[in-house]
Amino acid sequence: MKKSLQKLKEIDTELQLISHTSALLGWDQETYMPRGAVEERARQQALLSGILHDYLTDTKVGSLLEACGVSEENLKGDNNLDERDRAFLRKFSREYFRETKIPKDLVVAFSEEASLSQAQWIEARKKSDFSLFAPHLQKILDLSREKAEKIGYTDHPYDALLDEFEPFATTASIKKIFSSLKPELMDLVRKIAGSKQVDDSFLLKNYPVREQEAFGRTVLQDLGFDFNRGRLDVSAHPFTTSTGSDDVRLTTRYQENQFRTGIFGIIHECGHGLYELGFPDDIKVSILAEGTSLGIHESQSRTWENIIGRSLPFWEYYFPKLKDMFPNQLRDVNLEQFYKGINKVEPSMIRVDADEVTYPLHIILRFELELALISGELAVKDLPEAWNSKMEELLGIRPENDAEGVLQDVHWSFGAIGYFPTYALGNLYGAQFFNSMKKSLGNVDDLIKQGDFGIILGWLRENIHQYGSIFTAEELCINATGEPLNPVYCSKYLENKYRSIYGF
Amino acid sequence: MKKSLQKLKEIDTELQLISHTSALLGWDQETYMPRGAVEERARQQALLSGILHDYLTDTKVGSLLEACGVSEENLKGDNNLDERDRAFLRKFSREYFRETKIPKDLVVAFSEEASLSQAQWIEARKKSDFSLFAPHLQKILDLSREKAEKIGYTDHPYDALLDEFEPFATTASIKKIFSSLKPELMDLVRKIAGSKQVDDSFLLKNYPVREQEAFGRTVLQDLGFDFNRGRLDVSAHPFTTSTGSDDVRLTTRYQENQFRTGIFGIIHECGHGLYELGFPDDIKVSILAEGTSLGIHESQSRTWENIIGRSLPFWEYYFPKLKDMFPNQLRDVNLEQFYKGINKVEPSMIRVDADEVTYPLHIILRFELELALISGELAVKDLPEAWNSKMEELLGIRPENDAEGVLQDVHWSFGAIGYFPTYALGNLYGAQFFNSMKKSLGNVDDLIKQGDFGIILGWLRENIHQYGSIFTAEELCINATGEPLNPVYCSKYLENKYRSIYGF
């Protein structure tokens, strides 16, 4: 058994090395690759995906798992193995069973349709014409349903899709969480709308990119991002990727006339990066050296971006430095005005530009529509109208066209159905973790005010990062906070913060 | 047979896609990779090498080659196939036979020793102490000899090593070429030493890197380098690599107080890059889309760097622009002085800093020592003394320590024995090609003087680039110039150019 386990770990190492290589191909494509290379790059990626699939689904992998006592009913294998090895087996065997259930034909059909569909989505969005994208979305939905049937589920086909991004989560559990969150957020939005709006016009002045970047790099360094094991570059859409266990790369984008975009992009990605850099040596280059779910991953980025990065103490520390750098742009602005400006709440059409309060409502909208599409209750042709109505219901605004409505996100076009909920889970987990951290560390605000982020990062390392995927999201949450995910922490955090900003 | 050929081409495509991926890992390592990633990067590279080896030496490849009529005596396979397919079979089967003859144990031992040895070489060079490197060099030589025995050879074990870099070349042919080149170059160096030395002090003034780069990019664009299919970046040692058939990446380095380094590095790598970008669509992503030998590759870089880039007409075009950019640095310098300065000849210790005339003597020295080491006539312990004596014999100067002598180059440390001669072959092929180009195009100097490089590039595309590896170096040379490699063109070119500069 020890020998089989060892062999599985060797196969896993090879899978990770290839995944990291594939991540580099992806990073390069978004940052430095010349345009003409795009076609061959797709073929390079497809070949690596094929190699990964073949390695993972090789029949010898099945025999080795069996030799370790693993079955679909007992993912963690033999009781006599130590807990870390059993955690490895759970994570590895879940991927194995999932991947082997999807026939290669379906994998290929899905990946081909995803390519086509993404190209068509770009076109459709440009023309703001949903009808161009509709037949492809239909195909993606059909293939997704087929995938869900192959993978299997107990209650809802959506469970099988969600599981890829948020392992062990269920449609029912998400529904329950969102059903309490939704009215609270809507109520908060109403209260804010009834208050005097804050001014953020000074954030729209001209902030030269070079200075924005210098400021961002200083912040990254202060927060504990290790440039010996990572980088910061520019791409059209910010992201974080690990091209090695000691090689975590962040990207952001800068807008000269919108100060928020660059810096909060950087702090957000830094949160992802610190998680990836916080896995301990003994699980490096293994399947355990990954975030345990996208929701947990997003909790790290949202905590640094919003709870810390948009807090008053954070800018008590940084605002004087920022003012030194941009004396003209911020001449007549004081700390309080700045703090309020970066936290302006206002219902808007585009998810990625949304503030902290309205953001989860954008997610709830997508979740409800995805469920209805997958279950067949909603037809693709009726989707734009359903989207627009739901926007009115949740945020009180109605898109004027498909581009600022149903066509705004790339996710569906490449087949990522079941992905959106993880964004909102990130806000919820983040607030709950932060609450526990405060209880444990006490004066967190004072630390932030002094620009002393090491103790905060230490708590996250200790309670979250060091475990990689050893615990499930729920286990991790219970260990770190004493209870499973509870949306009340996020609601309370938002209520308190915005009551003081808007004075309702 | 058609089917087998098709299948081989598919395997070849996969090999090229993986090679290009591996090239990206290498490029990234030298340009943007954070330091901490170095260990895992080596493992990623090793895994890809293993996959390449397994794909290439798979038993089915042997059967497919056989089905195409290929044997070691008939590399091009069945006569009924068309010539392009037979060229493909020749190139592919040579790599197959070579790779299958080297046992995997030896491949692994070699690659491990190369890693160790390279690390030890860095240390030894830092301390300028050959004794630290000697045992590793001994091991590299032993393994190289073993490799040569496995691969097989007719006359000299060095043939088997040389063949990896310069296919179809032999020790005897290189010896013959160098034996005529050596006395001529030594004579030329003596004549120059007896003339009045030119002034190059203005090249050592301060040239800000940002302007050097801007100038370099303009030149690249003018020479026909396509930034839609390539890039220019910075690395410690300049190189060119193809990370895709439409993705050719150059690097250079800049020195603030040495103008030559940056710009001639760029023009040199541009020559390599134009070759790689000049392969036609129908051989893209195949084994034929490679330079046919390193000697031919180097002919392209040397032609652009030296024959064109260090010519008087080239600077008739660019010197006014350069003077606009660096008015202070070049205030009292006229075109003729500039031209002479960039062509200053002076025996020096370090190969990579050597001028056009002394450069091949550095290569001849290495070739003679490699031969003596491989044949066993020279013992490793006697190598530093042999090096120093040969420097005195060929260039009239003697290194004061190992760092500026026998330890200066990285090549031996990673096992590249048989590589050096290709550098000098580049000079020879380049001069011969350029001579034919002039005969065919007439007023090449006028074209250069007008900054009109398209016709020159067209001739190189027509006669060299478009064939990739379809012809051997010798076939290509005969087709383009009417005769096999003949060192007289290089000697004449150097004699004429430097007689006019030094006036002897």
Do residues B308 and B452 both lie within one domain?
A: yes
- Say if residue B71's pLDDT is above 90: yes
Do residues A149 and A244 both lie within one domain?
A: no
Residue B252 lies in a domain: yes
Q: What is the C-alpha separation between B216 and B227, in angstroms, rounded?
A: 13
The answer to whether B273 faces chain A, any CB pair under 8 Å, is no
The minimum CA-CA distance between A287 and chain B, rounded to whole Å, is 15
Spot the catalytic one: A113, A166, A269, A305.
Answer: A269
Comparing CB atoms, the residue among B17, B24, B32 nearest residue A47 is B17
Supply the pLDDT for residue B390: 98
Name the residue in chain B with its Cα closest to that of A233.
Answer: B32
Other Cβ atoms less than 10 A from the Cβ of B469: the count is: 24
Do residues A182 and A150 both lie within one domain?
A: no
Do residues A411 and A354 both lie within one domain?
A: yes
β-pair type (A247-252, A240-244): antiparallel
Where among A157, A180, A206 does a domain terminate?
A157
Where among A157, A187, A218 does a domain terminate?
A157
Q: What is the C-alpha separation between B449 and B315, in angstroms, rounded?
A: 8
Say if the Cβ atoms of A40 and B246 lie within 8 Å.
Answer: yes
The answer to whether B231 faces chain A, any CB pair under 8 Å, is yes
Residue B477 lies in a domain: yes
Do residues B338 and B254 both lie within one domain?
A: yes
Name the residue in chain B with its Cα closest to that of A21.
Answer: B44
Do residues A211 and A333 both lie within one domain?
A: yes
Q: What is the C-alpha separation between A247 and A243, in angstroms, rounded?
A: 5
Supply the pLDDT for residue B236: 87
Spot the catalytic one: B113, B166, B269, B298.
Answer: B269
Q: Domain count of chain A?
A: 2
Q: State mean pLDDT over B230-236.
A: 95
Q: State mean pLDDT over B378-399.
A: 98
Comparing CB atoms, the residue among A44, A230, A246 nearest residue B20 is A44
Do residues A195 and A58 both lie within one domain?
A: no
User: By the 8 A CB rule, do A387 and A405 touch?
Assistant: yes
Do residues A148 and A162 both lie within one domain?
A: no
Say if the Cβ atoms of A41 and B244 lie within 8 Å.
Answer: yes
Residue B222 lies in a domain: yes
Chain B residues lying within 8 Å of A227, measured CB to CB: 34
Supply the pLDDT for residue B383: 98
A 46-85 residues inside an 8 A Cβ radius of B: 47-48, 51
Residue B495 lies in a domain: no
Distances in Å between the Cα of A40 and the Cα atoms of B14, B276, B286 are 11, 15, 12
Supply the pLDDT for residue B365: 98
Q: What is the per-residue pLDDT across B346-386, written as a single tens digit (0 to 9) for each?
A: 999 999 989 999 999 999 999 999 999 999 999 999 999 99
CATH classification at residue A310? 1.10.1370.30
The answer to whether A30 faces chain B, any CB pair under 8 Å, is no
Other Cβ atoms less than 10 A from the Cβ of A287: the count is: 22
Give the residue numbers spanning the domain of A440: 158-504
Please name which of A197, A126, A177, A200 lies closest in space to residue A407, comparing C-alpha atoms: A126
Q: What is the C-alpha separation between B61 and B8, in angstroms, rounded?
A: 7
Say if the Cβ atoms of B231 and A32 lie within 8 Å.
Answer: yes
Residue B181 lies in a domain: no
Encoded tokens for B380: 């490793």
Residue B179 lies in a domain: no
Predicted ipTM beyond 0.90: yes
Please name which of B341, B370, B171 lies closest in space to residue B259, comparing C-alpha atoms: B341
- Say if residue B32's pLDDT is above 90: yes
Do residues A167 and A29 both lie within one domain?
A: no
Do residues B138 and B225 both lie within one domain?
A: no
Where among A116, A131, A157 does a domain terminate?
A157
A 443-462 residues inside an 8 A Cβ radius of B: none
Q: What is the C-alpha separation between B92 and B88, in angstroms, rounded?
A: 6
In chain A, which residues have pLDDT < 50? none
Do residues B313 and B439 both lie within one domain?
A: yes
Q: State mean pLDDT over B447-466.
A: 98
Residue A354: CA count within 13 A, CB half-sphere: 21
Residue B450 lies in a domain: yes
Q: What is the C-alpha separation between A308 and A262, in angstroms, rounded?
A: 16
Supply the pLDDT for residue A104: 83
Do residues A314 and A436 both lie within one domain?
A: yes
Angle (CA) A375 A381 A387, round 5°: 75
Residue B16 lies in a domain: yes
